[in-house]
Amino acid sequence: MKNKARLYARRREMYHLYVQKKNMTEILDKISAKYSISKQALWQDWQKRTYWVYDVFDLEPARGDIEMDSPLH
C-alpha cells in the first residue's frame, strides 16, 4: 500500500473506532500495533483531524453562504 493510501486507511480506521465509542487508549493501542506507529504520533495526528477529515472521507466542508430556493427563506 502506498504511503498516502496507508495514511488514509489508518485515519479512517481510527475515526471509525472513535465513532463506535471505543476508548481512546484502546484505539491508540490497536492502531499503533497494526500500523507500527507510536501512540504519541497517532494522538498528535488525531488532534489535527479537523484539517484532514474531509480529505480522508472525500467530503466537502459545509458552507454557510448557500442560498436556498425554498419559499420558507
Read off the pTM: 0.74
Q: Are 18 and 24 in contact (CB under 8 A)?
A: yes
Q: What is the pLDDT of residue 51?
A: 85
Query: Per this entry, what is the length of the chain?
Result: 73
Q: Are 48 and 59 in contact (CB under 8 A)?
A: no
Residue 43: alpha-carbon gap to chain centroid: 12
Mean pLDDT of the chain: 86
pLDDT tens across 51-72, in order?
Answer: 888 888 877 766 666 565 656 5
